Structure 1
Amino acid sequence: MPTAREALLDAALRALADRPWRTVRMVDVAALAGVSRQTLYNEFGTKDGLATALLRQAADGYLTGVDRALTAPAPEHSAAVAVWTVRAAREDPLVKGLLTGLWEEGLPRPGHDVPGPARLLGLAQDRMAAASLPVAEPDSTTEPGSAEAAGRAAERCELVLRLALSCVVVPCRNRPCPAHHAAATTGEQGLTSSPVEPLGSGAQMPTHGRGTTMRTLVLGRTPARVTAVLATLRADGFDAQGVSTDEEALTLLRTGEFGVLIIGGGVGPASRSAIRAFAAEHRVRRVIDGALREPFDTYVRNEFEPLIREAAAQG
């Protein structure tokens, strides 16, 4: 049975899935968790304290994933961490903000008690370097465990993390993502047995245009809801990406790589009309107007996925 603190953090995430953080009320979080407001205030003190706890939980979850990735055989550490970093940042907007400093609209902002990008990446890099130290480099006379080996390991780890984050900040045009090959870039071998599955490893949608993969773009004003849609689509083998702002959507649509566009119910009429027109000029086969209803996964499978398959078949 979860503790009161765990129940409150889960309730806060559910509240954030429904509306921007600035409109989330402490009384609503307490009600969702089934506890009194006094219990909530006893645990976190203020709404800012609750936000800090949410962000620290996201940071801890990311680092736990790094530790899990490092259970791969030694030569595959870098690849596993790179894949995990890209996946975590794409699927959790809080992790993306913590790693990049790019915060989507509607999310809580970190205070001084939350690690910034440099600190969080430094913690991940330290874990990677420690796991890599005993490994001798191919064709190298450097003694494993020496100061020189430690320096080279740190450089490799930093490079891998930077490559992974580049795939988060600037979405990859190729599949698989170049981050999957980060370990090979830094001189390590064997990427196929990582304990973290490669992103986009599900069934591929049919292709259209110049050999690009049929992809789905999800635009919604509430990042947590966008994440919920993406989780279901990706679990069912669809290649999907999500954004929360018109600017991000236009940037991605401009590539001409998206065959389907889902526009969430929170997008206003003016933005919706402009984006639909822009999508039509950039090879989008189908625009779906959606307003999520719970349970989200059932709604996505019943309302969105048949239309995506139809567009793919026509493309």
Structure 2
Amino acid sequence: MTNLLTFSADYSLQNLNTFGIAARASQFLRVEQLAQLQAIFADAQLKAMPRLILGGGSNLVLSDQVNALVLHMALKGRQILGEDEDYVYVQAAAGENWHEFVLWTLEQGLGGLENLSLIPGTVGAAPIQNIGAYGIEIQDVFASLSAFDFVTGEIVEIDKATCNFAYRDSIFKQDYKDRMVILSVRFALPKRWQARLGYADVAQYLSQHQIELPAAKDVSNAIIAIRQAKLPDPAKIGNAGSFFKNPIVPAAQRDNLLAAHPMLVSYPQDKGDYKLAAGWLIDQCGWKGRQSGRAGVYEKQALVLVNHGGATGAEVRALAQAVQADVYAKFAVKLEIEPVFF
């Protein structure tokens, strides 16, 4: 085994997942260069092992023992690639911290990512989940990405159409799951930037700070302040951010729910469906602030499950299932879990 592949056995992952679950990996490798992935591919025994590709660990609920080869993506680098008439193209390696990358683009005078400020995780994980917040998703600014293919051993370029982006979904959670390892991501940031201020709390923040014509940095500051007020800091209380997807239902189902629950929070979608606020549904079932074992529902935002200290992956799963069952019993709406259980 070469120096490229210096594995650590029985490695603690507690500080590498934002839920703070005290999991241990049977084999662990910090990936800092492409050659390490190529060396694993060239070794039949290593290639055949179950793999967990780990970024910032922010969309993940781990079991106590992870019996897999955990590859912690730590590739670094960010740059401006060039521009055309409409866009400036920037690139970041998979291991770059997402929020730090957003701030870097703002420092370069480039808008487009500001509404995605303070989302935990890494750049490489962002397209997998098609992360989104405050009126924008990764697909809105995505150009292309490079990935290592564990089936062929080749580096492939993947365009936006191939990614099959959907609400909190992409081909990397479907056909390419466990196959493609994202190496770097490229974004197209608009030269004719316009602020996206469709959310009331963002407009309210700007008004309170007497900002009439916000720059991209102003919008970022607003998003950061709002998220910090609503969501727990993973450094202080373990969590994976929003734990459930906002369910999308047909208009007829939404209308029936609205008739029975006049305060129902819903948002119209492009195809005539409605997105329901999962946090509101959970809150109506009395879960906000409740604890089950060492896991619980965050007191300020029912969409977030938290680790009150020492929670296991099994406890988090049990809590999530209890929440799902209560929401379905009350509203006949199925909540889908966002994080991956491994």
Whether TM exceeds 0.5 here: the answer is: no
Q: TM-score with structure 1 length normalisation? A: 0.27
Structure having the larger proportion of residues in strand: 2
Q: TM-score with structure 2 length normalisation? A: 0.25
